A and B are shown apart, each in its own frame.
Chain A
Amino acid sequence: MLEVVDPGLLSTIQDAGRPWAADQGVPRGGACDPLALRVLEQLVGGPAGSTAALEITLAGPELAVRETCVIGLSGADLECEVTEERRPLRPGTTALVRAGTTLRFGAARDGCRAYLSLAGGIDVPLVLGSRSTCSVGGFGGIDGEGRPIRAGDLLRPMKPGALGLAGRRWPGRAGGSVGASGSTVVRVVAGPHLDRFPKGSLEGLRSNSWEVSGRSDRMGIRLDGSALPVPARPDLVSIPVTWGAVQVPPSGQPIVLLADHQTVGGYPIVAVVASVDRPVLGQLRAGDAVRFEVVEAVLARRLKIASDAIFDADAAMFRTDASDATAG
C-alpha cells in the first residue's frame, strides 16, 4: 500500500476508459498511452481493460510505502526511484518496495506520462464499468470522486499478497516513447470533413512543422505553427468525434483530440491520427516538435494489426519468462 505524500503536477487513476458511454455524453477517458496500460496489465497481473493505474504527468508525486508491496511501471521514464535505497525503477518492470521507503520521480526523459500500478491493479471502485477518473463528471478514480490524487490518499493493491509478481520485465516497448529529442512523426488518415477544406489543407498539415502548445491537456493537444487554411463555412452541425481527430478551429491552429475529449464537436476535422499512433500522441510534451505523415486507411489498419501482433508476441514471451521464474 502506498500513501500520497505530495501529489505532483497531475496524477489520475486511469484504466482503458468507457468507450461504451459516449452516447450519454461521457468522455471515453482512460490512459492517454493505451500501449503503456496494456503492458502494465500484463506486468501486475490485472484484468484487461479494467486494471487501474496511476497516470503520472511530467512532475511525479512523492509516495510513501506504508506496507511492503509490488509496483509496476510503464510508459515514459520519469526517473522513478526508491529514495532511501537510491534504486531506480524502470518502465516495463515490476519491483518489490518495502514499507518505510519512499518513491520519488525526476525529469521526463522520453515522454510525459508514466503509469504506476500495484499487484492486480489499484483498488478503486468501478463506475459505469471503468475505474478511470472522469474529471468533468466528478466520478471514477480515487474514492470514485473524479479527482486527481491528493496528499493523504491511499493506493491499495487488488492482490496485496501477490509479492511473487516482483522482478518481472516486459520484453518489448513499455509505451509510446517520443524519445529525448522531442521530434515525433505521427501518422494520420484523411478526415471526414476533408472535402470542406480549401485545397492544400491536408498538405499544409503534412508539410508544416508543429509545436505542442503548453495549453494541451487530457482533452486535446493544441499545436502551434503556420495557420492552416480553414473552410469558408466553419459553422458545422456538431458530429460525434473520436480520439485522434485533428480539428481545425477558425484560428487554423489544429487541436488533436485525446482520451478525455468531448463526445461531439463542431469544428471541421481535416485528418484523424492512425490508431496505432495513439500511444505516441499520449506522450507528447509541451514544446515537442511534431510532423504528420498522411497514410492510406488500408495501411493504417495494417500497421495497427502488426503492432497488436508484436504486443501479443511480447506477451507470450513475457508469460514464458514469468513461468520460468516461478518454476526456478
Chain B
Amino acid sequence: MIVPFGDEALLVVLGEVIDAAVNQQAHAVARGVRAARDESWHSPWGVPVPSYASVLVPYDAASIDEAEATRRLTALVARTARTAQASVEIEGPVQDIAVRYGNADGPDLETVADRTGLTTDQVIEAHASTVYTVYLLGFVPGFAYLGILPPELELPRRNEPRLRVPRGSVGIAGRQTAVYPFETPGGWHLIGRSDAVLWDSRRESPSLLRAGQRVRFVPEPRA
C-alpha cells in the first residue's frame, strides 16, 4: 500500500509488524529506489528511509505530482518484489561487537535475570548466541535497532527512563536490542557495554552498522 506523507513524500506500507521477512522487503524497496536514483539524473526520488515495515520515499514535487509519483512508485515496488527473492548476498558478513556484560557496565543485568527467571549467565548466553539483523537506524545517528531478541529476554521498557545512558551501553527492550552510540536519555534495560565506535562522522561511512546487516555480540571475559 502506498499512502501520501505530506505533499513531498510517499510512504510504502508493507505491514504493521516487526518481522524479518517484511523488514527485508522494506530494505529491498529502499534499495530499488536508490538504484533508480543512481540510474538517472532525472529521477524524481529523494533518499529513501526504511523502517520496520515501511519506507518513506521523498519525491521532487516540482517535477511530478502525487498521482504520477504514486503510479511510478507502485511500478517500482512491484519490480522490487519480483527481484527481491533472486538477490541473495545482501547482508554481507556478520559484524561482531565485543561486550562487557554486567557489573557497572550492565547495571540492569541482575534485574533482567530476576524478571526473566534466568541466571545472569543464561541472560548473557541468550543475548550473545543470537545473530541479529539491523531492522533500521533511528533515534540518534548510528543507533541500530537489532532484532529479534530471544523470546525469553523480552521485557517492557523501564518504567523510569534514565536521563543519561553512557555511550556504548548495550540495551534490550521488547523484541529489540541496541548499542547506544552517544550518551543520551534512554528507557532500555542496560545489560553491558561495548567500546565499539557506532558513529564517527570523520569515517567515510560514519555508521558502523547499516540497515539489513547482521550483528553478533561477543562476550568479553568478565573481570
The residues of A with any CB-CB pair to B shorter than 8 Å are 19-27, 127-128, 134, 136-140, 144, 189-192, 236-242, 244-245, 262-264, 269, 272-275, 297-298, 300-301, 304-305, 308
Contact = CB atoms under 8 A, between A and B. Distances in A.
A91 B214 CA distance: 51
A242 B46 contact: no
Contacts of B30: 23
A139 B201 contact: yes
Instruction: List the 3 closest pairs (A to B, CB-CB), nearest first.
Output: A272-B6, A240-B56, A264-B138
Contacts of B168: none
A301 B59 CA distance: 12
Given A136-B141, A192-B5, A264-B138, A25 B47 contact: no
Interface in B23-61: 30, 46-56, 58, 61
B166 to A, nearest CB: 14
Interface of A is mostly: mixed
A241 B6 CA distance: 10
B170 interface: no
Given A128-B201, A275-B6, A297-B66, A264 B51 contact: yes
Contacts of A244: 6
B171 to A, nearest CB: 15
* Most chain A C-beta atoms within 10 Å of own C-beta, residue among B47, B49, B184: B49
Interface string B201-223: 10000110011000000000000
Interface of B: 3-9, 11, 13, 15-18, 30, 46-56, 58, 61-62, 65-66, 136-144, 182, 184, 199, 201, 206-207, 210-211
B11 A192 contact: yes
B140 A128 contact: no
Nearest to B34: A23
A136 B140 contact: yes
Given A137-B201, A240-B49, A298-B66, A189 B6 contact: yes
25 contacts: A20-B47, A22-B56, A23-B30, A23-B50, A24-B141, A24-B142, A24-B207, A25-B140, A25-B143, A26-B141, A127-B201, A137-B140, A139-B201, A192-B11, A237-B51, A238-B138, A240-B56, A240-B138, A242-B56, A245-B5, A262-B138, A264-B51, A264-B139, A272-B5, A300-B7
Contact of A275 (B7, B16, B182, B207): B7
A237 B18 contact: yes
A23 B4 CA distance: 19
Interface of B is mostly: loop
A12 to B, nearest CB: 16
Nearest to A274: B7
B9 A19 contact: no
Given A127-B201, A240-B55, A297-B4, A262 B206 contact: no
Contacts of B207: 24-25
Contacts of A274: 6-7
A271 B135 CA distance: 26
A19 B47 contact: yes
Contacts of A192: 3-5, 11, 13
Contacts of A237: 15-18, 51-53
A25 B180 CA distance: 12
A239 B211 contact: no
Contact of B65 (A25, A238, A239, A301): A301
Contacts of B53: 237
Contact of B137 (A23, A128, A140, A190): A23
B8 A275 contact: yes
A289 B80 CA distance: 46
Contact of B139 (A236, A239, A262): A262
A277 to B, nearest CB: 10
B58 A19 contact: yes
Nearest to B137: A25
* Most chain B C-beta atoms within 10 Å of own C-beta, residue among A134, A239, A245, A300: A239
